[in-house]
């Protein structure tokens, strides 16, 4: 099975040997080329002699690779190995494997012998091709853009022929930009022009294509992806990756503690140490995931041959040949998974896709062989509610990206978050091509229908004051969603949704946002807007995400207006969140938060606790002191209406709040209670950086 790619080092070494004749030794090269046993009654040697002044290395190498013009490849390849004294000489059994499986060069579809020749020999520029050969052997980074474009200017040489030969010379760094690549369904391949527009194809365009391949099939060799595309294109009836049924295999294949990943890689195969019914029944085109232990992923392969099926059962010397499409080693251990994958029942696509390079590959496999679209997993209207600092606003970014990218929320990673700014909705109308899909607004006490839907606003033109109807953010986004020809999802994020007057802001549209009342639904409704007097409805591809701070207003107040029309998701403090430090000079901040919230719950209610994000990013006790001085204690003052005795209880009676007694005889007769008052320590007091005060919060 290792023989699949033997042609790669063989042709690269041959190309390097040929390149040694580039500097003034072309006549010597002609003699060597003519001395090869071409096994075709001298036809090739005769044409070499006929066109000796214009014979170039690209024609030579493509001729060697041609499938249709040699009576006996075995004899030709053996002769070439001897003539050029190649170290990568192909053994007889390997040549037989090549011939039987047509794997010497699976990508091109060669035409006539010496296809580089044409009637306009003066335009051949063989010196350019000799120069280009030297740089191609050395790698993509050595190729000159002018030489690249110059080769394409040669008559009868198109993008396909040219890049096929580049891939033949150095298959690790070059890929054939041919019709087979279209089967990968990567958008950049649409930029490959036909022969009539080859002048539009530059080295920069070609590099973009190669980069896109590497992105979707990480850490794989380009010749592996070339073979994958070739099989997708030529064997579409049986070689189709199908993610509805997939298999997994451990690198500890024989359960003996020996890691066999290198065997898998070197031989382009996987195998198992026992007759496990799942893996050994994998059909051609099946997807196989390679794991190491419970959390580490090592690769993805697509089955091209299964000896277990071919020879009716398991044996320890049989294997499953695969084409590698992902060889990235990634871990899911820090992704929040409670369980890894140790057997076929615990390995799921959802777990695999938490590693971004694997998600990109699987997304591309779904494009190659699409399955029916999944059911909508995101409610049209939802509200995230909870105490302050629980990450509600931060979570809206992830949730809105999941909606516009049409993913599950668990599939959105940090790389997706970096793209958030590219999805932000442009409220102007200066960009008709793409205005973004995500808009953001914040409700407050003065926010009104005129800000949200439409209203009359004053304008000044030539010194005169006039009035115009101006659309609000909701109406603008709804129109953009309705007019989108692709019906992409759009999202409106409303921060602090409970701080506004919902009835006043939404008006009659509070009914129209219901799923059943949206445009296209069975009970769709439209209204005439009061200012513009135009008909308006809410499209089905507009999503609304609100955040609600339960410490600001009780959720029960909004039940009547929103409960039936929104799905509510509670976000409470996570006292054991991994981003909360557990050792700041001996202080366990997770225990600090847990203890304070337990007391707040007892003294007030569960809706006015302290969120976990208050403790994110703390690395020193000075930073911890700053959080308590400027964020936590002011929040407690708000919660308890400056009742410092209760604040002191929440803090475990530590020294941050000082209790003092007023000794004044003139007050004793007028005050029934004890003459006590409380004061907060000054910000420069050393007790703020005394770890014992923080430890006291949870150790009492």
DSSP string, 460-488: EETTEEEEEEEE-HHHHHHHHHHH-TT--
pLDDT of residue 193: 57
DSSP-assigned letter for residue 629: I
pLDDT of residue 580: 94
Strands 320-326 and 527-528, sheet pairing:
unpaired
Q: For residue 449, how many other CB atoms are within 10 A of its CB?
A: 21
User: What pairs with residue 457 in β-bridges?
Assistant: 468
Instruction: Kindly give the parts of the chain with pLDDT less than 50.
Output: 1, 68-70, 97-104, 106-122, 338, 344-345, 372-375, 554-556
Closest CA to 496 of 547, 446, 569: 547
Strands 286-292 and 242-250, sheet pairing:
parallel
Tokens 């070499």 sit on residue: 48
Closest CA to 225 of 399, 122, 107, 344: 107
Backbone angles phi, psi at 269, to 5 degrees: -155, 170
Say if CB 165 and CB 60 are below 8 A apart: no
Say if CB 304 and CB 324 are below 8 A apart: no
Closest CA to 442 of 591, 549, 302: 549
User: How many Å apart are CA 68 and CA 692, to the nearest integer?
Assistant: 84
Tokens of 207: 């590099």
Backbone angles phi, psi at 439, to 5 degrees: -115, 155
Give the DSSP H or E segment for 269.
Answer: strand 269-270
SS3 493: strand
Give the C-alpha distances (Å, rounded to integers) separating 110 from 55, 105, 115, 313.
Answer: 18, 10, 8, 40
DSSP-assigned letter for residue 536: E
Residues in the chain: 700
SS3 291: strand
Backbone angles phi, psi at 453, to 5 degrees: -105, -75
pLDDT of residue 110: 41
User: CA 699: distance to chain centroid?
Assistant: 45
pLDDT of residue 22: 87
Give the DSSP H or E segment for 169.
Answer: helix 159-169
């Amino acid at each position: 099975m290792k023989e699949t790619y033997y042609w790669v080092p063989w042709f690269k070494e041959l190309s390097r040997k040929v390149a040694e004749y580039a500097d003034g030794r072309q006549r010597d090269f002609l003699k060597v080329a003519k001395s090869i046993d071409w096994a075709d009654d001298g036809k090739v040697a005769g044409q070499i002699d006929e066109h000796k002044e214009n014979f170039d290395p690209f024609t030579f190498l493509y001729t060697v690779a041609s499938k249709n013009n040699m009576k006996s490849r075995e004899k030709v390849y053996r002769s070439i190995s001897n003539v050029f004294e190649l170290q990568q000489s192909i053994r007889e059994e390997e040549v037989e494997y090549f011939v039987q499986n047509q794997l010497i060069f699976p990508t091109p579809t060669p035409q006539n012998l010496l296809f580089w020749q044409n009637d306009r020999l003066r335009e051949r520029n063989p010196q350019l091709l000799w120069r280009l050969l030297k740089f191609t052997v050395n790698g993509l980074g050595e190729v000159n853009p002018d030489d690249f474009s110059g080769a394409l200017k040669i008559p009868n040489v198109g993008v396909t022929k040219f890049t096929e030969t580049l891939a033949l010379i150095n298959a690790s760094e070059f890929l054939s930009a041919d019709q087979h690549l279209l089967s990968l369904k990567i958008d950049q391949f649409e930029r490959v022009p036909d022969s009539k527009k080859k002048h539009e194809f530059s080295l920069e365009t070609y590099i973009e294509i190669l980069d896109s391949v590497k992105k979707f099939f990480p850490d794989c060799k380009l010749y592996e992806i070339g073979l994958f595309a070739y099989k997708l294109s030529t064997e579409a009836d049986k070689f189709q990756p199908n993610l509805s049924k997939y298999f997994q295999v451990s690198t500890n294949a024989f359960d003996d503690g020996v890691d066999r990943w290198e065997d898998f890689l070197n031989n382009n195969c996987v195998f198992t140490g026992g007759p496990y019914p799942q893996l050994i029944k994998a059909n051609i085109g099946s997807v196989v995931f390679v794991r190491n232990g419970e959390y580490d992923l090592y690769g993805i392969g697509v089955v091209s041959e299964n000896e277990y099926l071919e020879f009716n059962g398991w044996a320890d010397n049989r294997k499953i040949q695969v084409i590698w499409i992902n060889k990235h080693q990634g871990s899911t251990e820090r992704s929040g998974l409670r369980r890894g994958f140790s057997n076929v029942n615990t390995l799921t696509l959802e777990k695999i896709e938490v590693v971004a390079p694997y998600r990109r590959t699987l997304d591309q496999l779904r494009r190659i062989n699409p399955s029916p679209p999944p059911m909508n997993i995101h409610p049209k209207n939802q509200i995230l509610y909870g105490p302050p600092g629980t990450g509600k606003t931060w979570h809206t970014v992830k949730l809105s990206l999941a909606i516009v990218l049409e993913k599950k929320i668990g599939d959105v990673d940090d790389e997706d978050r970096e793209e958030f700014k590219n999805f932000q909705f442009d409220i102007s109308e200066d960009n008709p091509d793409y205005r973004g899909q995500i808009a953001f607004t914040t409700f407050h006490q003065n926010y009104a229908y005129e800000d949200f839907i439409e209203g009359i606003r004053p304008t000044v033109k030539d010194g005169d004051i006039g009035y115009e109807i101006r659309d609000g953010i909701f109406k603008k986004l709804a129109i953009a969603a309705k007019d989108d020809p692709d019906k992409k999802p759009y999202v409106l994020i409303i921060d602090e949704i409970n701080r506004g007057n919902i009835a006043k802001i939404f008006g009659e549209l509070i009914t129209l946002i219901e799923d059943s009342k949206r445009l296209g639904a069975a009970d769709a409704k439209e209204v005439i807007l009061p200012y513009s007097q135009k008909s308006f409805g809410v499209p089905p591809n507009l999503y609304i995400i609100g955040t609600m701070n339960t410490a600001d207003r009780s959720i029960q107040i909004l039940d009547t207006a929103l409960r039936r029309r929104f799905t509510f998701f509670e976000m409470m403090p996570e006292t054991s969140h991994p981003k909360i430090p557990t050792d700041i000079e001996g202080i366990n901040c997770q225990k600090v938060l847990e203890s304070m919230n337990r007391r707040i719950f007892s003294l007030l209610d569960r809706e006015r606790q302290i969120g976990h994000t208050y403790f994110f990013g703390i690395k020193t006790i000075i930073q911890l002191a700053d959080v308590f001085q400027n964020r936590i204690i002011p929040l407690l003052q708000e919660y308890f209406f400056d009742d410092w005795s209760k604040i002191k209880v929440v803090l475990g009676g530590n020294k941050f709040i000082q209790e003092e007694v007023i000794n004044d005889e003139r007050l004793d007769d007028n005050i029934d209670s004890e003459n006590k008052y409380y004061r907060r320590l000054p910000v420069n007091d050393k007790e703020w950086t005394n770890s014992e005060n923080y430890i006291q919060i949870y150790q009492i």
